[in-house]
Homo-oligomer: A and B are copies of this chain.
Amino acid sequence: MATPDYTIKQELLAKFAKALGHPARIAICDFLAKQETCYFGDINDELPIAKSTVSQHLTALKEAGLIQGEIEAPKVKYCINKENWRLARELFGEFLGQCVCKTGGNCCER
């Protein structure tokens, strides 16, 4: 068994963050979050990049568990994976919330 360098939570949070670490993938999620129907073509039309690249970004989001796809005739329907989305929301909330509580400025300045 390899050394557990980081915690499961840290690894998972990093995985989510990495998947969201590109504006095109943020834009895809933004788009999916406000759509009912969400075919590949619709997403592709929204983005200024080649469709093969869009497909790659979708795969990255899918592998991180943030979205899911379903084949539907010659089309493919994508949507947010709400369960993992919720999990991501919790993890990011916990992570980003752990420093704001301590009021006052930063410990480093002045």
Contacts and interface: CB of A to CB of B under 8 A. Distances in A.
A14 B6 contact: no
A108 B78 contact: yes
A96 interface: yes
Given A34-B98, A68-B109, A26 B20 contact: no
A89 interface: yes
A30 interface: yes
A18 B18 CA distance: 5
30 contacts: A5-B23, A5-B47, A6-B24, A6-B26, A6-B27, A10-B30, A11-B23, A13-B20, A14-B26, A17-B18, A17-B26, A18-B18, A18-B21, A30-B95, A68-B106, A68-B109, A70-B108, A77-B108, A79-B106, A80-B99, A80-B106, A80-B107, A81-B106, A82-B100, A85-B99, A88-B96, A89-B93, A89-B100, A93-B93, A93-B96
